Amino acid sequence: MSYLRLENVEKTYDGKSNAVDRISLDVARGEFVTLLGPSGSGKTTTLMMIAGFEHPSAGAIELDERDLTASKPYERNIGMVFQNYALFPHMTALNNVMFPLRMRGFPRNELRSRAERMLALMGLAAFADRHPRELSGGQQQRVALARGLVFGPDVLLLDEPLGALDKNLREQMQVEIKRIHREVGTTMIYVTHDQTEAMTMSDRIAVFCDGKVAQVGSPLDVYNRPASRFVGEFIGDSNFLAGRVDPARPGWVELDGIGSARVGQADVLAGEVDVLIRPERLRLRPSADGENVLEMTVEDTINYGDSILALGKVRGLPLRARLGGNDTTVLTTGSIVPLHWAPRDAHVLPRLR
């Protein structure tokens, strides 16, 4: 059942165009949902409306069947974690975490014990008396998380909280936030433009594009079965091959400039389509049955250590193949290599004009 519900929510600043355009989204209690999209897609504005810092121009926001649409931020039991931490520099970590308890009128004899328990959950028990300037970026972010969770919010909102951290620390914090989510069970809404964060941490992802939700689904559903070309291109690396479906040959696509290819979707629509094949799904050997074979002329390679991304062309069409193992020794500039892909690895989308 829906715990947090957004129904046809709109936000306009000029009365002409919508920054958020009829967004509808249902979030279950205890779920971790990520709002993912490029800059300007409406995800942060949506988060601010859930928090109450922005008011919808239309639509409704409900939490546990309570209408929050017109409520003030302080009337909502919602926690917030910002990218810049927003810690009070003159307060210790312990006092920063106790601050929301004081503001909400928690009994004085409970303040310290509740804050200490939350810092311990974050692995910061030994840093309670330090000021923010004495803490690393990751430690400051965990203090901000503790402050956002200590009063038992109905929902915790996180606005690109890892954007200021370096790559290694960001990856560590992804694991930490997911662990904390499992332990406390609080409903979390997370905003990011980072695909890896969304894929790693989320129960579900809502992909935003131009103020609309382009797709909502589990990370694997969104990655393997994108609802549109935009989603397929935005999440992960991709190859799109144009083609046409003949209704008389279900499960086959005639790829422009390449020829017939078998796909795993027997129910694809007739007409012009785009066939998505992820680079890591291409294999460096011809298939046993001779189906779906491509010969790529290698133009460049990028070495990732555990794999190599080969950039090239098939009959003049650009193609990217991410390959691993010892076979990558044949990937030299100008070489022609046979590639194939399994029908189940293709995803067919109707081509939008």
With bands split at pLDDT 50, 70 and 90, how would you rate the model's confidence at 139? very high
As a whole number, mean pLDDT of residues 176-186 equals 92
Contact residues for 272 (Cβ-Cβ < 8 A; gap 6+):
242, 243, 244, 350, 351
Please tell me the predicted confidence (pLDDT) of residue 266.
57
**Amino acid 15: pLDDT:** 86
Q: How far is residue 64 CA from its own chain's centroid?
A: 25
Q: Strand order in 317-323's β-sheet? A: 317-323, 308-314, 293-303, 336-340
Write out the two tokens for 216: 């909502």
How confident is the model over 76-90, as pLDDT tens digits?
999 999 888 889 999
Domains of the chain, by residue range, sit at 2-229, 237-350
- Mean pLDDT lowest for which of 48-52, 90-94, 172-176? 172-176
193-202 average pLDDT score: 92
- Residue 303: its pLDDT value, please? 87
Model confidence pLDDT, tens digit, residues 215-260: 999 999 999 999 999 999 999 899 999 999 877 788 889 999 898 8
CATH class belonging to 237-350: mainly beta
**Residue-level pLDDT at 326:** 62
Tell me, which fold does domain 2-229 have in CATH?
Rossmann fold (3.40.50)
Rounded to 5 degrees, φ, ψ at 175 are -65, -40
Model pLDDT, residue 250: 81
Return mean pLDDT, the chain.
Answer: 91
**Residue 117 confidence (pLDDT):** 94
Q: Is 267 a residue whose pLDDT tops 80?
A: no
Q: What is the pTM of this model?
A: 0.91
Q: What is the pLDDT of residues 294-351, one digit of tens each?
A: 899 999 998 888 888 999 999 999 999 998 866 566 778 888 989 999 999 999 998 8
pLDDT of residue 304: 84
Contact yes or no for 212/206 (Cβ under 8 A): no
pLDDT at 286: 65
